[in-house]
Amino acid sequence: MHAQARTTPRTRAEIKDSPASLVALAETYNISVATARKWRGRDSPEDLSHRPHRLSTTLTPQQEAITVELRRLTLLPLDDLVAVVRAFINPDVLRFGLTSSRDLNPPV
């Protein structure tokens, strides 16, 4: 939970189980109607991950394998690796697409 969260798992469970209207719940807990609706519709009062389930990439599996091997062999800094990949493998690759791969960022 973050410091500005207006609801806790306990209040979220109360919202889920309450027969009161969404407007009444919003007023009671000082939240928006949309937030009350969200917690009433959830199966669990716990926060869900905000991380995407699938990361989009512009690299094909073959290009990614080449990039991983290039990183492993040269140990180029990330910005240099992005420049090389853009120049020789895929001009549309984004820096984020390379930083999201565990294989491209070996432990130091």
Average pLDDT of span 54-80: 86
* The predicted structure's pLDDT at residue 6: 80
Q: Which domain holds residue 87?
A: 61-104
For range 68-82, the mean pLDDT: 92
The mean-pLDDT minimum among 34-38, 42-46, 56-60, 77-81 falls in 56-60
pTM above 0.75, yes or no: no
Contact 25, 18 (CB under 8 A): yes
- Tally the domains of the chain: 2
Look at residue 1 and tell me whether its pLDDT is greater than 70.
no
Q: Are residues 43 and 65 in the same domain?
A: no
- Asked if the structure places residue 78 within a domain, the reply is yes
Look at residue 84 and tell me if it is in a domain.
yes
Instruction: Tokens for 68, please give them.
Output: 């991983």
Q: Is there a single domain that holds both residue 36 and residue 6?
A: yes
Q: Which string of b and e fits 4-23 if b means at least 16 CB within 10 Å? A: eeebeeebbbbbbebeeebe
